[in-house]
Amino acid sequence: MRLVFYCSDNFQLMDLSGPVEVFSIANIVEEKPLFELVYVSEHGGLVRSNAGVFIDTVAINQIGLFHSDIVFLINGIDTQQPNSPTVTKFVRNAYRKVESICTVCTGLFIFANALPDEHVYATTHWSYLEEIIHKYPNVNLSQKAPFVRDDKLWSSAGISTAIDMALNILEMKTSRELTQRVAMTMVLPNRRKESDSQLTFHLKMQFECSDSKWESLLHWIQENLTEDLNIDRLANFMAMSPRNFTRRCKNEFSLTPKKLVDRIRIEVAMSLLRETKQTISYVAIRCGYKREENMTRAFLRCFKQSPKEFRRSHSIDD
């Protein structure tokens, strides 16, 4: 199978290298060329990335496209320039002809600019959502998903989510076993599904931390969920009085200490249910619920689903 990676000038390097590594490692793991990787640009020759790394490309008017091809659109951070007629023709031809088009981050701008009358469901990086909404009413945006598939169009938020999208394509074209081996080779912490969020709760909480001590608290809570994490113990970790800690915690996270612990507890449980085959009882104990019934009540309250139902609808085994 041939994968064609279109790169604009000053393209974002990881938007290319992430998915490329997924398929390149698949070739290495299988010890045979499952995927042919081809790099193209508008004019061909060396194309510079945003990081100053150059790649050698073939001009898009010199490459024929086939039905079995998958085309990736890799763009830069400058989304103000419209496509040239040559690029527009290439994208339209690809969408009509190839098996799939995959946009990575701002690559969605290339697609939407070339096909303004094509109504699609897609996603992009969270920082570009408003711009897409304003410029391209033909794009129905998922504002949280890490990647989305809509018939022939795959789209991702970019950066690490492009890896998640590529892994899902790999699994669709090969097998779950190979995909898991590739993910393990890449030492990925997890695999996101389309139903997951671009930004995890833990990452958003870290972003909101005013200093590293609060960030350390988040890690410490996550590592000690089986302990009695009462206010006194949390305050002691932060070297504060319980009253001062409660006030500061609300200011940092807009959550009481108890609700902060509860949220981290359920986030870890969600991750274990999605990504492991551990029993629900084990997950409940590992996350400090003590009994399966307690975790079930928490999930019904948050998701209107039991842990078993949550696993069935969110597991990466699906």
pTM, two decimals, is 0.75
Given a contact cutoff of 8 angstroms between Cβ atoms, the answer to whether 1 and 70 are in contact is yes
Strands 120-122 and 100-104: what pairing?
unpaired
For residue 32, the Cα-to-chain-centroid distance in whole angstroms is 28
**pLDDT of the residue at 209:** 77
**pLDDT of the residue at 198:** 65
Helix (H, G, I), strand (E, B) or coil at 32: coil
**pLDDT of the residue at 199:** 62
Nearest C-alpha neighbor of 120 from the set 93, 100, 86: 100
User: In the chain, what are the domain boundaries?
Assistant: 2-186, 201-314
Cβ neighbours, 10 Å, residue 49:
21
- Each residue's pLDDT, cut to its tens digit, for the chain (318 residues) gives 999 999 999 999 999 999 999 999 999 999 999 999 999 999 999 999 999 999 999 999 999 999 999 999 999 998 988 999 999 999 999 999 999 999 999 999 999 999 999 999 999 998 999 999 999 999 999 988 899 999 999 999 988 999 999 999 999 999 989 998 999 999 887 777 766 666 666 666 777 677 888 989 998 999 999 999 999 999 999 999 999 999 999 999 899 999 999 999 998 998 889 878 899 999 999 999 999 999 999 999 998 999 999 998 877 655
Nearest C-alpha neighbor of 104 from the set 191, 14, 194: 14
Given a contact cutoff of 8 angstroms between Cβ atoms, the answer to whether 307 and 289 are in contact is no
Sign of the four-CA dihedral 223, 225, 228, 234? positive
Distance CA 173, CA 185 (A): 19
What does the buried/exposed string (b/e) look like for 102-133 if buried means 16 or more CB atoms within 10 Å of the residue's CB? bbbbbbbbbbbbbbeeeebebbbbeebbeebe
**pLDDT of the residue at 235:** 96
Instruction: Identify the CATH number of the domain defined by range 201-314.
Output: 1.10.10.60
Write down the CATH superfamily of domain 2-186.
Class I glutamine amidotransferase (GATase) domain (3.40.50.880)
**pLDDT of the residue at 13:** 96
What is each CA distance from 315 to 142, 157, 309, in whole angstroms?
20, 21, 10
